[in-house]
Structure 1
Amino acid sequence: MLETERLILRPLAGADFDDYAAMLADPDVTSGLAETVGTSPSDAWHSLATFIGHHQIRGYSHWAVIEKETGKFAGRAGPWSPHGFPGLGVGWCLSREHWGKGYATEAGRAALAYCFSALDAEEVISLILPSNRRSAAVAERIGHRYLRDEEYHGQTVHVYGQRRQNRDS
């Protein structure tokens, strides 16, 4: 578990399903994701199981993003590197009611720091749909820069990322 100023980042769990499914039921949320995710409860179940399974296989995954003040589930964020992904990534997905609060940036920074320290990453990337300007802005706020375009899951995505600054710092 990690804590930031306003958030608790803890492993996703089956108990998060109702909140997770409500988040993914919003087509405005899912339309911004680089991976194809539907809006049905079955789609949410599959997605949640994928993130929990990723943690079992890789030892890390997206975390549940919880507001410290209220204890409410706000979304998911964290490191990510499933089969076929073009590198070690960080990502974020928040319920629309939590957009505009800076939570994606706060969680993204924590995930990036985790990748460089705990996972000893040399480079960390984020895949962002060209239409998702909000996520591109988050990527830039956490220090990522646009690197290139790439095909992922049959669509063109912008690859943002950054390399480790200095091993001695």
Structure 2
Amino acid sequence: MTMTVLETERLILRPLTGDDFDDYAAMMADPQVADGLAEPVGRSADDAWRSLAVFIGHREIRGYSHWAVVERATGEFAGRAGPWRPHGFPGLGVGWCLARAHWGKGYATEAARAAIAYCFAGLDADEVISVIRPGNTRSVSVAERIGHRLLREIDYKGGPALVYGQRRGESPHS
């Protein structure tokens, strides 16, 4: 299935592929990366394989999924980000996960903004959410920078989660 490729000022957002596995596995092996995710994921190469396969499979089922986040200047894999709505998820979500070497560069914000615009324009979404574990202050900061506001708290995958989001036409800081 063909998936849209997006380009931002500093990033290329392209479909994840099996060729991303080594970089993806290295990112997921980092406990600071894996422990911050709303979806619990192990850190082994087998866990990373299954996680990558889920994103690729999601694209096959839904027609969209997280993209590989690639630095335009270097071609280096920086992480993944994009739209997401697996079975049981509380809405159309936008998520992000970056390798720690790429933290603090604004890439999560840049990729998430592009993904939200895609959700509203390309997927005709009425609302876009992000599900974040309490205590993940870095992701809360990204959610706030992209215009999401705290909507509610839920139980998700056996633990508390914060649902941030915005509706179509809302100003980013309504």
TM-score tier by shorter-chain length is: over 0.9
Identify the residue that residue 109 of structure 2 maps to in structure 1: 105
Query: SS where residue 110 of structure 1 aligns?
Result: helix
Distance 1:146 1:11 in 2: 29
Count residues with an aligned counterpart: 166
Identify the residue that residue 90 of structure 1 maps to in structure 2: 94
Q: How does 1:137-152 map to 2 (within 5 A)?
A: 137-152=141-156
Could you state the TM-score of these two structures normalised by the residue count of structure 1? 0.97
Query: SS where residue 5 of structure 1 aligns?
Result: coil
Q: CA deviation at 1:161?
A: 0.2
Q: For residue 29 of structure 1, what is the amino acid of its counterpart? A: V
Identify the residue that residue 83 of structure 2 maps to in structure 1: 79
Distance 1:38 1:122 in 2: 33
Aligned residue among 121, 127, 137 for 2:125:
121
Distance 2:40 2:142 in 1: 20
Q: How does 1:52-63 map to 2 (within 5 A)?
A: 52-63=56-67
Distance 1:159 1:29 in 2: 20
Distance 1:37 1:136 in 2: 19
Distance 2:15 2:63 in 1: 11
Q: For residue 51 of structure 1, what is the amino acid of its counterpart? A: F
Q: CA deviation at 1:157?
A: 0.4
Identify the residue that residue 66 of structure 1 maps to in structure 2: 70
Could you state the TM-score of these two structures normalised by the residue count of structure 2? 0.95
Identify the residue that residue 28 of structure 1 maps to in structure 2: 32
Percent identity at matched positions?
73
Show CA shifts across 1:142-169 (max 9, x none).
Answer: 0000011001100100000000017xxx
Identify the residue that residue 8 of structure 1 maps to in structure 2: 12
Q: CA deviation at 1:62?
A: 0.1
Distance 1:81 1:12 in 2: 16
Q: For residue 117 of structure 1, what is the amino acid of its counterpart? A: A
Q: CA deviation at 1:33?
A: 0.2
Distance 1:141 1:114 in 2: 17
Structure 1: gaps (5+ residues): none
Runs of 4+ in 1 over 3 A off after TM superposition: none
